[in-house]
Structure 1
Amino acid sequence: MTDTPLRGVFAVSTTPYGADGEQDLSLLEASTARVLEAGVDGILALGATGEALALDDREREAQIRGLLEIVDGQVPVVIGCMAYRPSDVSALIMQAKEWGASAAMVTPSFYGGLEATAAVAALEPVLEQAELPVMVYNNPHSTGVDLLPEDIVPLTKHDAFWAVKETSGAATRVRELRTTLGDGVDVFVGADGLALEGFTQGASGWVAASGWLTPTRCVRLWRLVQEGDWKGAVELWDQLAGPLGQIEADPAFISLIKKTLGALGYEQGDVRPPLPTASEESVRSLKTRLETLGGRH
C-alpha cells in the first residue's frame, strides 16, 4: 500500500466541447482555475463526467497533458484509466505516469458480467505492475459487479493499492470498508448524495462530480467536518442534499452537470452520444436550487 497523502475533496472534471464538437481545452482551463480557487484538494480527470470512453487516444493525451500543465502541481491529479482488458488498463496507467499524473483510478472490467472473484483477479496484474498509487472504483451500476469489502482484501497486498472510491449506494459501506481493509487503505465517498453519511463513517475524502459544479460548497462541507463542526456541516448539508440528490437521481446526470454549469456562465458544451441529454426543465430546476443557496458556487 502507498503512504501518499491523497485526501480531501477531489473534484471530478468534465470534458468541455466547443460548438464544433471538439474538446475545448481553453474551457477546461477556465473551469480548472475556478475549482482550484475554491480550494479543492485534488482533481480527478477522465472519470464518468470526463466522458473518458468518448475520447480517442489523441484527445485523451491532449486533455491529460493540458490539465497537468494547467494545474502545475498545485494539487494532485488522478487520471481515470478504464478499459476492458487488464493489459490496456496497465498501458493507460503507464501513460498517466509518464505524463505526470499523481495517481490512477481503475474499475473492474465492464460489460462481461464478471463475478467479484473474476473481477478482482483481473485487477491483480494491474496493481502488480502499476507505478502510480491506484484507486479502485466500485461502481456496480456501471460495471455490473459490486465489490464487497471482503472481495477487495486480496488487492491490499499490492504496494500500489491506495484507495477505494465507493459508489454502491450502500449507506454503511464506507464503515464496512474501513473496518475490513484497515487504516492503511483510504476510502472515498463516490456517491455525492451520501457524502455526509460517508464522512460520519470516517471517509478519507470525497470524489465529487458535484465538486466541478459547486466546488466552494463541497470544500466547505469537508472543512467543517475536519474541524469537528458537525452542527455547521449538517446545516450546510441540509442545503446541499436536495441539489446533489437531484443530480444523483437523473439518468442524464453528466449532461445535467454540464448544462447547469453552462447556465451559470461556465460553458461546457454538450455530451457526446450515446449519453442522454438533460431536459431543460431539469437544468432550470438545478440552477434555481443552487442560486437559492446564495454565496459562491
Structure 2
Amino acid sequence: MSTAYDDIKTQLQGSMVALVTPMHPDGKVDYKRLADLIDWQIEQGTHCLVAVGTTGESATLSMAEHSEVIRFYVQHVKGRVPVIAGTGANNTTEAIKLTQDAKDAGADCALLVAPYYNKPPQEGLYQHYKAIAEAVAMPQMLYNVPGRTVVDIAQATVERLADIDNIVAIKDATGSVARGEQLITALGDKMIVLSGDDGTALELMRFGAKGNISVTANVAPKAMSETFSAALRGDFNAAKEAHDVIKHLHRDLFIESSPIPAKYALHKMGMIDKGIRLPLVWLAKEHHSTIDEALIKANLL
C-alpha cells in the first residue's frame, strides 16, 4: 500500500556521507568550511548528506547549535541532494524538539540514534520511536549502533516500528551482514535498509541494502560514490574495483574514536581547520603517519 512517504524511500540510496562539523581552533562551528565541504561532496557525487550525526559531533553541540547547523545545511544545499538531519537523543522530549526543528528547517529525513546510556528495554525503544513519529510528521530513520549506544534495537522491535508510515528506513551499523540480510528479508518494502558500517556495506548491498551512511566518504567521496552507484546498478565488479582503492580507510579512519581521524585527514587535505570539541581531542601524534600513509595510498594526498 502506497503512503505519503514512498518518494523519500527512492531517494535514500547510494553513498551518503555522515559529514564532520568543521570547527575553528576555539571550537566554534566553521560555517564557511562547512559550506565548502557540502559543495565538494555534491560535486564528487555524494547522493545524500547527513547533518549532525555521530560523526558531526552531535553529542557536543548544544541543542540550539544542533538545529542551527541543520538549518544551514538545508539553506546551502538548496535541494541539490537530500539532507538527513541527525535528531536523536536519549531524552524523548529533546528528540521530538530536534526533529520538529529539522522539519521546520526543511530537512528531508530525520536520523534517530537509539537512546544511549540509559539502556531502555525493547518496549521503551518502541515507545520512544513511536512517540517521535507521532509528534513530527516527517520521514524518520532508525539508527542502530550498539557499539556506541550500548543498546541494540532488536529485529522484532524494528518490525513493529516498520508499521508506522513515517518510519521509512534503518541505518544498521551493527557490522553484521547476516543480521542485515535478515532485516532486509523481514522488512520487505516497508522500510529501507542502509548500512552504517563502511567495512561491510558493499557486501550488505548484495543482499538488498540500498546504500551506505559513511565516515570514509568524508575524505573519499568520489570513490565511495562510484562504488555505491555501481552497486545500485548491480555491477559489483565495478563496485569492487572502485572500492579496493580506498577500503583500507575503513580501518584506518577508526584508529581513534570517530571523527578524530577523519577530521585530521580533512585537515591534512587542506579542507578544514584544526578544531574539535572536548571530550574529543586532536589525533595523537603517533597515529599521524598511519593516516598520512592511508591518504597517499588512496591517492588523496
TM over 0.5: yes
SS in structure 2 of the partner of residue 240 of structure 1: coil
Q: Aligned equivalents of 1:124 and 1:51: distance in 2?
A: 25
Selected match of 1:215 from 205, 212, 221:
221
* Deviation, structure 1 residue 243: 1.4
Asked if residue 161 in structure 1 is aligned to residue 178 in structure 2, the reply is no
Is the 2:85–2:107 Cα contact (8 Å) retained in structure 1?
yes
| TM-score (structure 1 length as normaliser) | 0.93
CA deviations on 1:8-32 (whole Å, 9 max, x unpaired) are 2211111111133211100101111
Q: Aligned equivalents of 1:107 and 1:186: distance in 2?
A: 16
Runs (4+) of structure 1 moved beyond 6 Å? none
Selected match of 1:70 from 46, 69, 76:
76
Instruction: In structure 1, give the amino acid aligned to 2:102.
Output: A
State the identity %. 26
Asked if residue 258 in structure 1 is aligned to residue 263 in structure 2, the reply is yes
Q: Aligned equivalents of 2:159 and 2:122: distance in 1?
A: 12
5+ unaligned residues in a row in structure 2: which ranges?
A: none
Structure 1 residues 15-94: aligned runs within 5 Å = 15-94=21-100
CA deviations on 1:162-190 (whole Å, 9 max, x unpaired) are 10000012131221111111122101110
| TM-score (structure 2 length as normaliser) | 0.92
* Deviation, structure 1 residue 109: 1.8
* Deviation, structure 1 residue 226: 2.3
Q: Aligned equivalents of 1:60 and 1:267: distance in 2?
A: 19
Structure 1 residues 1-297: aligned runs within 5 Å = 2-3=5-6, 4=8, 5-6=10-11, 7-248=13-254, 250-294=255-299
* Deviation, structure 1 residue 259: 0.7
* Deviation, structure 1 residue 293: 3.0
CA deviations on 1:186-235 (whole Å, 9 max, x unpaired) are 01110111121111111111111211211001001012212332222223
CA deviations on 1:148-168 (whole Å, 9 max, x unpaired) are 322211111211111000001
5+ unaligned residues in a row in structure 1: which ranges?
A: none
RMSD after superposition? 1.7
Q: Aligned equivalents of 2:197 and 2:88: distance in 1?
A: 19
Q: Aligned equivalents of 1:22 and 1:290: distance in 2?
A: 27
* Deviation, structure 1 residue 276: 4.3
Is the 2:26–2:275 Cα contact (8 Å) retained in structure 1?
no
Is the 1:107–1:139 Cα contact (8 Å) retained in structure 2?
yes
Q: Aligned equivalents of 1:166 and 1:287: distance in 2?
A: 29
Is the 1:16–1:27 Cα contact (8 Å) retained in structure 2?
yes
